[in-house]
């Protein structure tokens, strides 16, 4: 492998009139992995993982519209729904010539990934699930106020929502639930970058729009369960057990539906790659080799 393919490469790709920033590593003739980030982050989440797997796969990590270094057009020009973002990412895979791929699912990456899987299940080589929910079991406690707002988006229910679309909220997503001994492993540029991008004009409103649309993803959980049972994609779960956003019971729901399931529960939290990147890379490398057989 040439030195250029071992290292992460960065570029912007034009997709349906949008400029999307992507990070990629590895050679295109290897099994493809599409890595879909969560909120409020971006492909920056995967910066340490990509070079560790460049000898195994062709990895593509895009910044979704409105995130990271991708374009964030105003809502008048772009519909900020997970269904529409999935259409944009699907178009990106066509531009890049990705025919079949593993889907890395994290946080907000889950509704995008599952839109892709439900539309074209034959393209999915396998699922890599890292602290992202696709079942009711994973969304308990902390989600109660969100569910109340989705059911009745009144001013009273909106006032009950936590104030998270700010700098402190961006920082909290990284550190909430993290054991004190692990907190020094988190570089502060993570949340500083997220907030710098999120505070672009109109972007906080975009983020709230996506939060509102998340209810439509939750409503599709039964469709996802049917997809799991009918298509039985190979699945690797790598999970930070201290995650305060998605409950550990989510794993049991996956186990109920999938036959080819490998699980690793690690001593991390929501942004597991910040503390356990090498362990995750080792698990992913073995999973890709196994799923390819």
- Annotated catalytic residues are 270
Sheet holding 58-62, edge to edge: 9-15, 18-25, 58-62, 32-36, 101-105, 124-129, 235-240, 261-266
- Identify whether the C-beta of residue 236 lies closer than 8 Å to the C-beta of residue 129: yes
- Identify whether the C-beta of residue 2 lies closer than 8 Å to the C-beta of residue 25: no
CB atoms < 10 A from the CB of 86, how many? 21
Residue of 48, 50, 246 lying closest to 133 (CA atoms): 246
Residue of 219, 289, 291 lying closest to 258 (CA atoms): 291
Q: What are phi and psi of 235, to 5 degrees?
A: -140, 135
In DSSP notation, 116-141 reads HHHH-GGGEEEEEESS---SGGGS-S
Residue of 151, 138, 84, 90 lying closest to 117 (CA atoms): 90
- Alpha-carbon distance of 64 to 109, in angstroms, equals 9
């Amino acid at each position: 492998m040439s030195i250029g393919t071992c290292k992460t490469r960065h570029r912007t790709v034009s997709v349906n009139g949008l400029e999307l920033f992507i990070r990629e590593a590895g050679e295109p003739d290897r099994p493809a992995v599409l890595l879909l980030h969560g909120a409020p982050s971006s492909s920056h989440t995967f910066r340490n993982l990509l070079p560790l797997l460049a000898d195994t796969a062709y990895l593509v990590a895009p910044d979704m519209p409105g995130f990271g270094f991708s374009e964030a057009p105003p809502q008048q020009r772009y519909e900020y729904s997970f269904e529409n973002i999935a259409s944009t990412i699907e178009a990106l895979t066509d531009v890049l010539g990705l025919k079949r791929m593993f889907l890395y699912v994290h946080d907000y990456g889950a509704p995008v990934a599952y839109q892709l899987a439900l539309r074209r299940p034959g393209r999915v080589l396998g699922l890599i699930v890292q602290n992202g929910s696709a079942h009711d079991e994973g969304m308990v406690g902390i989600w109660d106020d969100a569910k109340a707002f989705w059911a009745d988006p009144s001013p009273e229910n909106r006032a009950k929502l936590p104030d998270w679309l700010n700098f402190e909220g961006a920082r909290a997503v990284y550190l909430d639930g993290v054991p004190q001994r692990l907190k020094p492993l988190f570089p502060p540029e993570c949340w500083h970058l997220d907030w710098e991008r999120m505070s672009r004009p109109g972007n906080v409103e975009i983020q709230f729009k996506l939060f509102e649309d998340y209810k439509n993803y939750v409503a599709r959980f039964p469709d996802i369960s049917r997809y799991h049972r009918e298509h039985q994609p190979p699945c690797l779960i790598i999970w930070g057990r201290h995650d305060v956003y998605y409950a550990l019971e989510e794993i049991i729901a996956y186990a109920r539906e999938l036959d080819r399931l490998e699980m690793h529960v690690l001593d991390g939290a929501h942004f597991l790659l910040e503390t356990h990147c090498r362990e995750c890379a080792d698990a992913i490398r073995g999973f890709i080799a196994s799923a390819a057989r």
